[in-house]
A and B are shown apart, each in its own frame.
Chain A
Amino acid sequence: MRSPLKIAVLSFAHPHALSYVRALNGRRDIELVAADPDHGERPVGESGGTVLAAQLGVRYLETYEAVWEWGPDAVVICAENVRHLPLVEQAAAQGAHVLCEKPLATSVPDAEAMVSACESAGVNLMVAHPVRFSTAFKALKRAYDAGAVGEVRAVVGANNGKLPKGDRSWFVDPELAGGGSITDHTVHVADLLDSLFDGVAARSVYALSNTVLHGEVGVETGGLISIELDGGVVVTIDCSWSRPDSYPTWGGLTLQLTGDRGIADMDAFNTRVDGHSQTRGNGLWLSYGTDPDTAMIAEFLASIAAGRAPQPDGRSGLRTVRIVQAAYDSVRTGATVLL
């Protein structure tokens, strides 16, 4: 029997680290450690470090150096967006496979450097786009591949959420996040398009953003991104942080495909029990169904075991980063950006 795969979670900065640790802890074929050396930089009250590791029941290492000495086979990077690049490069240099939280990077050169580092080192680079693994999207992709809606010509996608500030304030700090809602939410929908249309690239991007919602933060909170893909498919993505603070859930993601044989509507988080609570004074929104994070991590581990590229891979992540950066270029110039 082969020895268990050694996996390290690098940083608890992104709250998804918590669900990844839970998903990984549920597997018997791996050995897990976590390091969160930058937790001291977080504002008072934001969890991290040994305390959070203890709560999650995961072995904790104080520094990334200690992680490299431990010798991981693979890492899961959940640092702030702008800190992905150095960690990916270190992991690649150590020969460790990488699952990197989305967005892969906050600039195209950073994303290209990550792809290049991992390809040179011969390690897998996967981007954490879990919606691709949801029951809803898998059903949509199956239906689309079977021709249920024919040739798709137009797509409307919406990934809306609350201001993601509750747990982690860096989400609204452009120095650490790289931007606001355009950075945070465009890539989820862009990744689904990348999967549906086999990695077709964007040809042109136009975007509008605003700061009407939560004007107190220093980044854009509203955004509409218009994309034309190679081949002429027209896409609009609403990436706004437009759910009120008191909304009964974090947000959601919907995708509508209009084809010459029909129209498909997907709601990635529609499997839920609805209700209303007098004691909470709010709607109840109880999600159920399979956990896409678990399926995503299973794909990462399976790709390592099989010695094949994972999906979505670094090049897919790079394509989504290109769209985001083109959207910012468009907002800055007020013009359509050709890629």
Chain B
Amino acid sequence: MTVQVTPAPPPLRVGMIGAGGIAGAHLSAWLSIGAEISHFSTAGAQALAASHGGVAVDSFAELLDLVDVVDIVTPTPSHLGYVQAGAAAGKHVFCEKPLARTSTDARLAIEACRAAGVQLYPGHVVRYFSEYESMHREVAAGTIGTVAVQRFTRTGSRPDMDWFHDEEASGGVILDQMIHDLDFACWNAGPVGTVFARQAGTGTGKDGVVSAHVILQHHSGAITHAAGTWARPGTAFRTTFEIAGTGGILRHDSAEHKPLVIDGGAGHDGRAGTGLLPEVSGVGPFELELSEIARAFMGGDPPRVSAEDGLAAILVAEAAVTSLQIGQPVAVAPIGNVEVAA
């Protein structure tokens, strides 16, 4: 008796660049979907390999020789250089959000990948979180009618790494953290016309607390409020949303919808913060995100988020930062000559 065996496709060979906070989440997710991982970082690659797996290599050039695609998880200012280098080497590129430090850099990244004929996607992973995905599916299906008013909040401990505290490097809480909700607001309610922002904080550096509030006027007529907070160390990561439409409302609060709560009684320190990453209660968002993107890299359908979406979110964030500076609403710059994906 002969058995017909379909050969398994060769594993996707992924080269990760960077070994910071998000690298562990990406690496675990890549490994869980069967990818073969090499990683390079100016610091911490060996430790990452020891704790999560994959093979650490000594140079970026060596990494490019080993892989089909690159996953860029470096600090924001270096995204563009690695995108351009990856594209020049003919690799598809997955890049952690924000796609680039500025909209100018994001356009250059998109143009470099287009010229090289490689795919480019930004890591707007909130689109893959089960609660957000479920909400968006119903919004898109018209379950709550036409979107009128959206509210999003995102709160977590202030990041540890020094570069986050340098607004010039990270773009601050709006570009680095709130951009998730700015992207999601646009996914639900469409492009944004004007942006107004305020920000307040106290203290400096890692002990500083900062909150940004942004209000969006969408072309559709919907209005959105997003609040992003880097709170004191030990603060639990928490997100909320409420979407109100002509036919109903959808809402979620990660502090209320927990599959398991353990009360350890006296002496149990239940106040341990979850830092930069939220607890995950649904299907693993990073696994879902990376498997969808891996399928696209291997010739499948495009994922739910495009490089142009990444640029659009940066344009909204940049308008918000300008609004902070001038104290007035700011029109979002047009996405311009970058061809928007169909």
For residue B55, CB closer than 8 A to chain A, the reply is no
Contact, CB under 8 Å: B213 / A210: no
Give min CB distance, B116 to chain A, whole Å. 41
Contact, CB under 8 Å: B249 / A336: no
Q: Restricting to A195-217, which residues have a CB under 8 Å from any CB of B? A: 204, 206, 208-215
Contact, CB under 8 Å: B148 / A242: yes
For residue A5, CB closer than 8 A to chain B, the reply is no
Contact, CB under 8 Å: A244 / B247: yes
Q: Restricting to A256-270, which residues have a CB under 8 Å from any CB of B? A: 256, 258-263, 265
Contact, CB under 8 Å: B200 / A224: no
Contact, CB under 8 Å: A210 / B221: yes
Give min CB distance, B211 to chain A, whole Å. 3
For residue B198, CB closer than 8 A to chain A, the reply is yes
Chain A residues with Cβ under 8 A from B151's Cβ?
156, 158, 238
For residue A151, CB closer than 8 A to chain B, the reply is yes
Given contacts A156-B227, A242-B249, A260-B203, contact A210 B209 (CB under 8 A): no
Contact, CB under 8 Å: A224 / B209: no
Contact, CB under 8 Å: B327 / A160: no
Q: Which of B209, B211, B231, B244 contacts A213 (CB 8 A)?
A: B244
Q: In this complex, which of A150, A153, A215, A233 has the most chain B Cβ atoms within 10 angstroms of its Cβ? A: A153
Contact, CB under 8 Å: B201 / A222: no
For residue A154, CB closer than 8 A to chain B, the reply is yes
Q: Which of B223, B235, B255 contacts A222 (CB 8 A)?
A: B223
Given contacts A154-B229, A335-B328, A335-B329, contact A212 B196 (CB under 8 A): no
For residue B215, CB closer than 8 A to chain A, the reply is yes
Contact, CB under 8 Å: B149 / A222: yes
For residue A23, CB closer than 8 A to chain B, the reply is no
For residue B165, CB closer than 8 A to chain A, the reply is no
Given contacts A153-B209, A234-B200, contact A206 B329 (CB under 8 A): yes
In the complex, which residue of chain B has the Cβ closest to the Cβ of A338? B327
For residue B252, CB closer than 8 A to chain A, the reply is no
For residue A334, CB closer than 8 A to chain B, the reply is yes
For residue B78, CB closer than 8 A to chain A, the reply is no
For residue B274, CB closer than 8 A to chain A, the reply is no
Q: Which of A232, A240, A263 contacts B231 (CB 8 A)?
A: A263
For residue B222, CB closer than 8 A to chain A, the reply is yes
For residue B217, CB closer than 8 A to chain A, the reply is yes
CA distance A258 to B157 in the complex (A): 12
Contact, CB under 8 Å: B221 / A212: yes
For residue B177, CB closer than 8 A to chain A, the reply is no
Given contacts A234-B198, A260-B203, contact A212 B227 (CB under 8 A): no
Q: Restricting to A213-239, which residues have a CB under 8 Å from any CB of B? A: 213-215, 221-224, 226, 228, 232-236, 238
Given contacts A204-B327, A244-B247, contact A212 B222 (CB under 8 A): yes
In the complex, which residue of chain B has the Cβ closest to the Cβ of A243? B249
Give min CB distance, A149 to chain B, whole Å. 10
Q: In this complex, which of B147, B247, B249 has the most chain A Cβ atoms within 10 angstroms of its Cβ? A: B249
Contact, CB under 8 Å: A221 / B227: no
Scan B197-225; emit 1 where CB is below 8 A from any A CB, else 0: 01111110000011101010100011111
Q: Is the interface of B mostly helix, strand, loop or mixed?
A: strand
Contact, CB under 8 Å: B215 / A208: yes
Scan B103-114; emit 1 where CB is below 8 A from any A CB, else 0: 000000000000
Give min CB distance, A333 to chain B, whole Å. 10
Chain A residues with Cβ under 8 A from B224's Cβ?
224
Chain A residues with Cβ under 8 A from B199's Cβ?
234
Q: Which of A156, A214, A228 contacts B153 (CB 8 A)?
A: A156
Scan A140-158; emit 1 where CB is below 8 A from any B CB, else 0: 0000000000110110101
Contact, CB under 8 Å: B215 / A206: yes
Chain B residues with Cβ under 8 A from A335's Cβ?
328-329
Given contacts A226-B196, A233-B200, A336-B327, contact A262 B223 (CB under 8 A): no
CA distance A315 to B199 in the complex (A): 28
Contact, CB under 8 Å: B328 / A336: yes
Contact, CB under 8 Å: B246 / A213: yes
CA distance A52 to B76 in the complex (A): 66
Contact, CB under 8 Å: A226 / B213: yes
Give min CB distance, B197 to chain A, whole Å. 8
CA distance A162 to B223 in the complex (A): 18
Contact, CB under 8 Å: B200 / A154: yes
Q: Which of A212, A224, A243, A261 contacts B215 (CB 8 A)?
A: A224
Given contacts A156-B153, A210-B148, A263-B235, contact A236 B249 (CB under 8 A): no
CA distance A263 to B155 in the complex (A): 10
Scan A177-207; emit 1 where CB is below 8 A from any B CB, else 0: 0000000000000000000000000001010
**Chain B contact residues, CB within 8 Å of chain A:** 146-149, 151, 153, 155, 194, 196, 198-203, 209-211, 213, 215, 217, 221-225, 227, 229, 231-232, 235, 242, 244-249, 255, 327-329
Q: Which 8 A-B pairs give the minimum distances between C-beta atoms?
A: A154-B211, A242-B244, A212-B148, A153-B200, A234-B200, A234-B198, A260-B202, A222-B149
**Chain A contact residues, CB within 8 Å of chain B:** 150-151, 153-154, 156, 158, 160, 204, 206, 208-215, 221-224, 226, 228, 232-236, 238, 240, 242-244, 247, 256, 258-263, 265, 334-336
Ordered by A's residue number, 22 sampled pairs between the chains whose C-beta atoms are within 8 Å are: A151-B202, A153-B210, A154-B200, A204-B327, A208-B215, A210-B221, A212-B147, A212-B246, A213-B246, A222-B149, A222-B244, A228-B198, A238-B151, A240-B149, A259-B202, A259-B209, A262-B232, A262-B235, A263-B229, A334-B194, A335-B329, A336-B196
